[in-house]
């Protein structure tokens, strides 16, 4: 049979169905399409917004450097010692998304003129971090030029954005802050700062890196009588980098059970439509596989989190199972109660193909919208 004959045969079969059956098929087709498009539209918009937010945060990190703060700094730092700070980011020892922390190693150095008693290396802290170890490896005070260099092992607590997990990118920021305010010390960034391009963190690649100076005004003077009504203002040296997921290994680990479950549900719809078998009893196994899959990804994340790629993909799988179940029930009802086998087969084919199309589209578009290329 040639192509034209096939098309003509399909038309004749379609014209042979009652108006009620045609309307039912069209309505079911539209309902599935609308639900799928609305859901995917919401999910893709949220994932894209998360990726755009990551870029905005990277580009607008100096949010507290207002003209008022800069003016205050200029007035209070006239007699302050200018300390040049540089870092060489060496390695990421650990990244723990579930516990919202990372551990890094880097070389830190300080250079300044005059006031050798500052001893900056022993008068620093890391914002929201713990300096596990800081070993001074070189120090000199010659001709009024002071230099200190040390190796720092630091753990920083931070809130990782898990919206695009397990395909997201994750910024890491280390703020080195002096215990002196700008009245005595002001930091400037050394252009010699750099990063080890071969930082070792399995499953990730370096996306971008930068250093800079951040000014922070605390709304307190810690009871310092010398400041009176003024707030404490400090300078901070920021070392920041962003790592990006490499490959699909973690993604496959999170959703391998779901992929098997979806394969199972499409097999169920296939044998129901083409082999006229009632496989309704096989569907609970698919639901069990989906629930098992959800726990895999959830175990890698903090207990409190919002909606993201992990939830969207799992809910998309649950929706596919529900749609497949309803399709099998409808095909069985049409075939057994109404005894219209030809219409049951056509209904099963069209709806099954529609579900397969939207399922595949969702599992392609959601990861693509999450990954930072």
Q: What is the pLDDT of residue 222?
A: 76
Among candidate residues 245, 262, 286, the one where a domain is terminated: 245
Q: Within a 10 A sphere around the Cβ of 42, how many other Cβ atoms?
A: 12
Is 162 domain-assigned? yes
Q: Which of 139, 129, 67 is nearest to 101 (CA)?
A: 129
Same domain, 153 and 221: yes
Same domain, 233 and 295: no
Same domain, 71 and 31: no
Same domain, 290 and 172: no
Q: What is the pLDDT of residue 211?
A: 95
**Peptide bond before 166: cis, by omega within 30 degrees of 0?**
yes
Q: How wide is the angle at C-alpha 95 spanned by C-alphas 89 and 100, nearest 5°? A: 115
Is 57 domain-assigned? no
pLDDT tens-digit readout, 172-226: 999 999 999 898 999 999 999 999 988 878 889 999 999 999 888 887 777 777 7
CATH code assigned at 105:
2.70.170.10
Is 40 domain-assigned? yes
Is 56 domain-assigned? no
Q: How far is CA 271 from the centre of its chain?
A: 39
Dihedral pair phi/psi, residue 163, rounded to 5°: -60, -40
CA distance 283 to 148: 67
Same domain, 95 and 236: yes
3 state SS of 218: coil
Same domain, 264 and 305: yes
Low-confidence ranges of the chain (pLDDT < 50): 7
Same domain, 84 and 217: yes
- Whole-structure pTM value: 0.84
Same domain, 41 and 88: no
Q: Are 235 and 187 in contact (CB under 8 A)?
A: yes
CA distance 91 to 339: 69
Same domain, 163 and 223: yes
Q: Which of 87, 178, 168 is nearest to 124 (CA)?
A: 178
Domain total of the chain: 2
169-178 β-sheet, strand order: 124-126, 169-178, 233-245, 204-217
Maximal CA-CA distance, the chain: 101
Same domain, 98 and 225: yes
Is 362 domain-assigned? yes
Among candidate residues 229, 245, 261, the one where a domain is terminated: 245
Same domain, 172 and 283: no
Among candidate residues 245, 262, 290, the one where a domain is terminated: 245
Could you tell me the residue range of the domain that residue 344 belongs to?
3-50+249-370
DSSP state of 230: P
Q: What is the pLDDT of residue 158?
A: 92
Is 339 domain-assigned? yes
Is 55 domain-assigned? no
Same domain, 323 and 206: no
CA distance 212 to 275: 67
CA distance 148 to 150: 7
Q: What is the pLDDT of residue 224?
A: 76
Is 198 domain-assigned? yes
Retrieve residue 23's tokens. 């309307």
Alpha helices in 60-84 (DSSP H): 67-76
Q: What is the pLDDT of residue 327?
A: 95
Q: What is the pLDDT of residue 50?
A: 93
Q: Which of 332, 352, 355, 356 is nearest to 344 (CA)?
A: 332
3 state SS of 91: strand
């Amino acid at each position: 049979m040639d192509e034209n004959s096939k098309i003509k045969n399909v038309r004749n079969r379609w014209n042979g169905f009652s108006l009620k059956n045609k309307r039912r098929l069209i309505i079911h087709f539209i309902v599935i399409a609308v639900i799928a498009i609305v859901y995917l539209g919401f999910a893709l918009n949220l994932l894209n917004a998360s990726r755009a937010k990551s870029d905005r945060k990277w580009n607008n990190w100096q949010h507290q450097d207002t003209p008022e703060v800069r003016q205050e700094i200029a007035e209070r730092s006239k007699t302050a010692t200018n300390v040049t700070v540089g870092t060489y980011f060496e390695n990421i020892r650990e990244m723990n998304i579930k516990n919202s922390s990372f551990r890094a190693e880097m070389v830190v150095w300080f250079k300044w003129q005059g006031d050798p008693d500052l001893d900056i290396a022993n008068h620093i802290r890391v914002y929201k971090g713990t300096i596990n170890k800081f070993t001074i490896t070189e120090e000199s005070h010659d001709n009024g030029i002071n230099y200190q260099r040390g190796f720092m092992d630091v753990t920083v607590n931070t809130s990782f954005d898990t919206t695009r997990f397990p395909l997201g990118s994750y910024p890491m920021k280390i703020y080195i802050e002096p215990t002196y305010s700008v009245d005595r010390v002001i930091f400037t960034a050394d252009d010699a700062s750099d990063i080890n391009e071969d930082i070792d963190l399995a499953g990730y690649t370096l996306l971008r890196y930068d250093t800079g100076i951040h000014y922070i005004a605390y709304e307190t003077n810690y009871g310092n009588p010398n400041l009176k009504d003024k707030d404490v203002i400090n300078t901070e040296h920021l070392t920041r980098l962003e790592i990006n997921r490499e490959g699909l290994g973690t993604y496959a680990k999170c959703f391998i059970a779901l992929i098997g479950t979806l394969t199972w549900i499409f097999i169920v719809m296939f044998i129901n439509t083409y082999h006229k078998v009632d496989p309704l009893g096989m569907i609970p196994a698919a639901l069990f596989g989906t629930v098992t899959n959800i726990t895999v990804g959830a175990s890698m994340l903090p207990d409190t989190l919002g909606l993201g790629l992990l939830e969207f993909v799992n809910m998309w799988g649950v929706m596919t199972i529900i749609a497949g179940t309803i399709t099998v029930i409808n095909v069985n009802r049409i075939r057994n109660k109404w005894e219209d086998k030809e219409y049951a087969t056509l209904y099963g084919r069209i709806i099954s193909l529609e579900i397969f199309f939207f399922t595949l589209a969702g599992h392609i578009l959601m990861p693509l919208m999450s990954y930072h290329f």
